[in-house]
Amino acid sequence: MVEKDNVLYFRIVNKITELMPLPGTIQKIIDLTRNPDTQLKKISDALESDEAMASKVLKLANSSFYGFSKQVKTISHAVVCLGFNTIKQMSLTAHSFSVLDQKLDGYYLDKGSMFQHSFGTALASRLLATKMFYPNAEEVYLMGLLHDVGKVILNQYAAEEFKKVVELYNQGGIAFYEAERQILGFDHGEIGAAVCKKWNLSDDIVDTIRCHHSPEEASSSNLSVHMVHIANIIVTIMGIGIGAGGIDQKISEKSLAALNLKEEDISMLMMSIMDELENDETLSSFRNKE
């Protein structure tokens, strides 16, 4: 929990709308999907009014994950096939790709690393959600994608304070997010949660992003936080987009128990992550041009 008098935290939170705005199209879709009586056409119209977003959603709709036998050619077809929630998550996913494709000097993450790590964690989170027969695997994918979004803000807005974080971390003995907590009074998970809150995302998403390094602190009914926690650990171990923090993280026993994971499951997950990374066409189609 962030102390009520943490000036830096509240200064950053007040700047989120300016630092990381949510495009009007997505905001409109989120508002529309909140009302179960919204007509599908209104959602199609909102998406079609934003050509770039519409084309990204179509790309996702035609990716292997959804497995439609026929090509989804129009937005209205995609909305009918996929439903409100999936369309909302797809729009957010498409937007997140552009937000995450950045160089983060404070974390020693070069251009591409942050994106690869987020994308790998999204794939791994979805694999765990599918393994657990979780009803909304696509939402867990989005959580994995956004888990480190707070880093983008901290890198931008707390550069001075960050030098002290790196200094403390380099002394050894603590994980990088623990150094953030000691110096700043909060970690990147708190800032990521604040972003998701500003974007009006679900309570589960906000809770998971906030607690992805400390799932014990999450709501007891939140299972997705354990999926994202373990997914992040495995992707980090594999070195996918790792930076200043190396692979120094604490693994939650509670998460291992909640997902009933055994040693052989870890190997199988690593194999599946590599398979998906090799085969998923999303990665290449959504990267910003370097």
Binding site for another protein (CB under 8 A): 108, 113, 166, 170, 233-234, 236-244, 246-251, 253, 256, 261-264, 266-268, 270-271, 274, 277
Residues 32-59 as b or e (16 or more Cβ within 10 Å = b):
bbeeeeeeeeebbebbbebeebbebbbb
Residue placing its CB nearer to another protein in the complex, 93 or 236: 236
Residue placing its CB nearer to another protein in the complex, 83 or 239: 239
Residue placing its CB nearer to another protein in the complex, 53 or 258: 258
Those residues whose C-beta lies under 8 Å from the C-beta of residue 287, and which sit 6 or more positions away, are 97, 101, 112, 115
Rounded CA gap, 88 and 141, in Å?
13
| Residue 268 C-beta: closest distance to another protein, Å | 7
Q: How is residue 27 written in tokens?
A: 């905001």
Residue placing its CB nearer to another protein in the complex, 40 or 270: 270
Rounded CA gap, 270 and 213, in Å?
20
Residue placing its CB nearer to another protein in the complex, 73 or 262: 262
Q: Report which DSSP code applies to 186.
A: S
| Residue 177 C-beta: closest distance to another protein, Å | 14
Which residue bears the tokens 């200094």?
A: 167
| Residue 82 C-beta: closest distance to another protein, Å | 31
| Residue 99 C-beta: closest distance to another protein, Å | 21
Rounded CA gap, 227 and 230, in Å?
5
Rounded CA gap, 135 and 243, in Å?
33
| Residue 142 C-beta: closest distance to another protein, Å | 24
